[in-house]
Structure 1
Amino acid sequence: MTALLVAEQVAVFAAGLLVHPASLTLHAGRPFTILGETGSGKSLLAQAIMGTLPRGLRAGGRVTIDDRRLDLGTGQGHRALWGRTIGVLPQEPWLALDPTMRAQEQVAEGYRLVRRLPAGEAQTRAQADLAALGLGGAGGKLPSELSGGMAQRVAFAAARAGGARIVIADEPTKGLDVQRRDDVIALLLKEVEDGGGLLTITHDLELARRMGGDVAVVLEGRIIEQGPAAQVLGAPRHDYTKRLIAADPAAWPERRATARRETAAAPVLSAAGLGKTRGGQLLFSDRDLIVHPGEIVGITGPSGCGKSTFGDILLGLVQPDAGTVTRAEGVARVRFQKLYQDPPAAFPQRVSIRRALGDLVRLHGLDAGRIAPLLGRLRLSPDLLDRLPSQVSGGELQRFALLRVLLLDPVFLFADEPTSRLDLITQQETVELLTEVARERNCAVLIVSHDTELVRKISDRRIAFGGRPDTAALAA
């Protein structure tokens, strides 16, 4: 079996050791998956191998790629391999895509600049790539006009355009519905079947199972288990791996739905006859919704069907084409909040997280003393407060977004894919906190998720978009 990439004693340093020396081998035609919780160091390990560590961090160890041996301590030699030998699918599609460039042109650019194809052929191939990912009509759209799942697929197409034999995919299926997730898995495996190398970083247990090949499980900057996927995931030896598998929503206990007391409390929000068309396409029409304090309503449906737009209309962030929204009287608008699907878009990128939270506290006269207890409940280290948003993992930033929202004591929270960046264990803890807050503070929650099992386990009611709505309360 041909080794395409050999990493030896790769480590990551800041003031101290963030990732302990780790070794792995990526073979042609055999996937390798790095699996671990949010903030475990799995993405840092991959970034060190790739030569793309954030500023302020440094790597140690050696990597051999196509017989080219690189000393990671020097930080040199990687650039000539980018795009041509190694392609990267980043964790955050919003940061990977040029906000001023339309989708098809972003993919075509790789064909033109890396493969040196004529402009016409580059456009033809880019159009075909987008169509294969279910994005045939998205070529002329800007990233801001795409859903999170659609943006992820555009970023995937752009990463593959340069013809790299090795693809490093960082959380390639986050935010995707089951159908699109399966499409991406099929495309990734196609790379492997053609003799390429695939290194995937993920917290998605189902993705790791489906990819097969080899798996390394990372915890607190160390590889704690490594071997064939069937062996590691089928008969785990380490307690953490066992906990990770047990945290799958399918294994969560059934929860008795909280009965609604429609006569005891006025609705916190109601909508009637909502409809919205975007880009000439009808997203939804005649949608009604009444939400009471403390109630949890779940929305499921495929990418691009209007789930996020529906929630944005309820918050007044987007205007409907038809229908009305009524919010509880006498409640400040700031207490109607959104937990964004892509937290980088919700945080200022040039100020530290500490300053961003401090600005919020000062602006609204909040109690700064509530920050420390919430850090503990969300398993966030206080040391992260002094980093920029780009210097923490996507999952850590999502938990900071939840902390920020909770400081505002919301009466209604629209949670748009709030756990798509979290590993199973952190997802379970975060969802438990979200539901606790809803009950303790009588906060209504509208949660959007592609994970139908998660929505089924935590919601009092469910609404399906892109199909027939299911608004029946869960059986007690």
Structure 2
Amino acid sequence: MTALLTIDDVSVHAGAQRIVAPTSLALDAGRPLTIVGETGSGKSLLAQAIVGNLPAGLDARGRIAIGDLTEEAEATGRRSLWGHAITVLPQEPWLSLDPTMRARGQVEETHRFVAGRPAREAGRAATADLASVGLGDATARYPFELSGGMAQRLAFVAAKAGGAPIVVADEPTKGLDAARVGEVVDLLRKGFESGGGLLTITHDLDVARRLGGDVAIMWKGEIVECGRAETVLSAPEHPYTRTLLAADPRQWRRRATDAAGAARGGDAVLELRGVAVSRGGRRLFADLSFGLRPGEIVGLTGPSGCGKSTLGDAVLGLVPPDAGTVRRAAGLPPVAFQKLYQDPVLAFPPRRRLRRTLADLAARHRLDERRIDELMQRLRLHPSLLDRTPGEVSGGELQRFSLLRVLLLKPALIVADEPSSRLDLVTQKEMIELIVEAADRDGCAILLVTHDEALADAVCGQRIRLGDPS
């Protein structure tokens, strides 16, 4: 096979501290390479070192060869290859899309200014590209008018329009439901099946299986196991790889169905009767009825756009129903009904230290501030993290701070809206165990919104599926 990309003893450092150990890998034409690991393992930093766009304060060492160019990892010659020889599909499509530009213009711009095509030819190519990924009717839409899956497809064709044979995809399926994940995997496969190179960074084992080729498992900045995907993911040799596979929800021990809630009994915290809700002039669901008692966990699943998050908002009184009733238990203050957000970064003041944010919450609602330390221990959060801003902690740590903030208010009901969809498998398991603990220990009712059917099967008693044709 022809190696499109070769890295030789590439490492990443922050001053004297080594973050990623010396790593040697080759990416062959037509054979994908997937790097799998949990949050903070260093896999994205390795990819950034390869491309040549490490954050300020970090430096790379070793040698990198892309096509005919071979240079030291700290050199900058690779930047001249961006878009032409190597391109990046980032974790969040919104970060690579211009919010003020329509879909067709974003792809056309790459054809013109990266590939060097004349304006008319670039326009025709952009239209064809969008049609090829099912966006033929969305050429005039802005990014904010697209679903997550559609935005990811737009970002993909815009990135590929320059003709680069190597694609580096960093968590390309993060936060997408199963159907959208399949669409993205199919897009990625098109690139390498035609002789291109695909380097994927992911924490999703199913994505690694479906892409095939080779898999490298990364842990604490080091590749601990590498080989054919079917071998590594079915008969792992390293203990960490086995831990990673065991964290897959399909391997979890099933929770004793709402044992805590059944033992407590009592009145329902929440009851919906014949509820119908619309958004943007479209009916999302109708005639929906269910209840939630203390300690119960209800799983809410369904495809993107079916109304899962909107139902959660209706439960919390943020969206009025078109019909039916939503009854929350009498005598409870409004703060007893809380939401745990999918993306904790958007739920915290970005420039304020976490200690100040939590102290302000305690002061605003006259809470016992000493409970912060108690909850920090319970959620396995180191006290030093309180003096950091949200951007200075990992995604898993920030999501646990989100749960801490919610538990500080002693809620009767938590709407957990995709609370682990952006987390790696190991961190996801920890997060879901903490949510289950809130139900079992505190008697909190949980409405768990998730696109992961296996996860819902493992921890939920009652199940509600929206958008289910049956």
Report the AA paired with residue 52 of structure 1: N
Deviates more, 1:243-252 or 1:15-24: 15-24
CA contact (8 A) 2:258 2:460 kept: no
- Residue in 1 aligned with 2:344? 343
Distance across 2 between alignment mates of 1:359 and 1:128: 53
Q: Distance in 1 between matches of 2:154 and 2:382?
A: 33
User: Take 1:358 and 1:81, find their aligned partners in 2: how far apart are those partners?
Assistant: 48
Q: 1:263 to 1:240 in 2, by over 3 A?
A: closer
CA contact (8 A) 2:152 2:184 kept: no
Aligned to 2:427: 426
Alignment partner, residue 472 of structure 1: none
In the alignment, which residue of structure 2 is the partner of 1:56?
Answer: 57
Give the SS at the match of 1:447: strand
Deviations along 1:279-325, one digit per CA (max 9) or x if unpaired, are: 45432223233222221111111122221122122223344444443
CA distance in 2, matches of 1:122, 1:370: 60
Return the alpha-carbon distance in structure 2 between the equivalents of residues 22 and 158 of structure 1: 30
8 A Cα contact 2:265 2:294, kept in partner: no
Pairing of 1:362-373 with structure 2 (within 5 A): 362-367=363-368, 369-371=370-372
For 1:357 and 1:118, the matched residues in 2 are separated by 55
Deviations 1:416-471 (A, max 9, x none): 222212222222222111101112111111112221111011111111111157xx
1:446-461 equivalent positions in 2, closer than 5 A: 446-461=447-462
| Matched residues, number | 468
Could you tell me which residue of structure 2 aligns to residue 417 of structure 1? 418
1:148, 1:342 within 8 Å by CA — same for their partners in 2? no
| Matches of 2:85 and 2:432, distance apart in 1 | 40
Conserved 8 A contact 1:339-1:418: yes
Change (3 A) 1:154 1:269: farther
In the alignment, structure 2 segments of 5+ residues that lack a partner are none
Contact 2:276 2:323 in 1 (8 A): yes
CA distance in 2, matches of 1:351, 1:178: 35
SS at match of 1:37: coil
1:224-263 matched pairs, under 5 angstroms: 224-258=224-258
CA distance in 2, matches of 1:3, 1:353: 46
Among the aligned pairs, what percent are the same residue?
A: 58
Shift of 1:104: 4.6
Query: Which residue of the partner structure matches residue 474 of structure 1?
Result: none
Structure number, greater radius of gyration: 2
Amino acid at match of 1:22: T
Which amino acid in 2 is paired with 1:83?
Answer: G
| More moved, 350-359 vs 424-433 | 350-359
Q: Please list, as runs of the form range in 1=range in 2, the aligned pairs for 1:218-229 lying within 5 A after superposition.
A: 218-229=218-229
- Name the SS for the 1:234 alignment partner: coil
Partner residue of 1:277?
A: 278
Contact 1:149–1:175 (CA under 8 A) maintained in structure 2: no
Determine if contact 2:418/2:450 at 8 Å carries over to the other structure: yes
1:111 matched residue in structure 2: 111
Whole-Å separation in 2 of the counterparts to 1:320 and 1:118: 52
Cα distance 1:208–1:80, how it changes in 2: closer, same or farther (>3 A)? same
Q: Which moved more, 1:396-405 or 1:292-301?
A: 396-405
* C-alpha contact (below 8 Å) 1:150/1:304 kept by paired residues: no
Please give the secondary structure, in 1, of the residue aligned with 2:77: coil
Q: Give the letter aligned to residue 48 of structure 2.
A: Q
Distance 1:239 1:166 in 2: 32
Alignment of 1:178-193 (within 5 A): 178-193=178-193
Hey, what does 1:85 align to over in structure 2? 85
Please say if residues 39 and 395 of structure 1, whose CA atoms lie closer than 8 Å, have aligned partners that are also in contact.
no
Q: Equivalent residues in 2 for 1:5-404 (5 A)? A: 5-14=5-14, 16-74=17-75, 76-117=76-117, 122=122, 125-126=125-126, 129-130=129-130, 132-133=132-133, 135=135, 138-258=138-258, 264-367=265-368, 369-371=370-372, 374=375, 378=379, 388-390=389-391, 392-404=393-405
Separation in 2, partners of 1:366, 1:104: 52
| Change in 2 beyond 3 A, CA 1:278/1:123 | farther
Q: Name stretches of at least 5 consecutive residues in structure 1 with no aligned partner.
A: 470-476
TM-score (norm 1): 0.87
Question: How far apart are residue 389 of structure 1 and its match?
Answer: 4.0
Query: Which whole-Å deviations, capped at 9, do the CAs of 1:41-77 have from their partners, x for residues lacking one?
Result: 1112112222232333333333221222343335x23
Cα distance in structure 1, aligned partners of 2:161 and 2:356: 39
Give how far 1:201 is off: 0.8
Match of 1:25, SS? strand
Give distance in 1, aligned partners of 2:402 and 2:157.
Answer: 29
TM-score (norm 2): 0.88
By how many angstroms is 1:32 displaced?
A: 0.6
Moved more, 392-401 or 30-39: 392-401
- Residues in 1 aligned to 2:85 and 2:375: alpha-carbon distance in whole angstroms: 44
Q: Quick check: 250-259 or 374-383, which moved more?
A: 374-383
In 2, distance between residues paired with 1:400 and 1:60? 35
What is the distance in 2 between the residues matched to 1:97 and 1:220?
Answer: 32
Quote the Cα distance in structure 1 between the aligned partners of 2:109 and 2:280.
Answer: 25
Contact 2:265 2:293 in 1 (8 A): no
My pick for the range that moved more, 113-122 or 288-297, is 113-122
Question: Contact 2:264 / 2:295 at 8 angstroms: preserved in 1?
Answer: no
- 2:165 and 2:197 in contact (8 A); partners too: yes
Change (3 A) 1:288 1:358: same
- Cα separation, 1, equivalents of 2:103 and 2:248: 34
Alpha carbons of 1:285 and 1:43: their partners in 2 closer, same or farther (altered >3 Å)? same
Shift in alpha-carbon separation, 1:136–1:93, aligned structure 2, 3 A: same
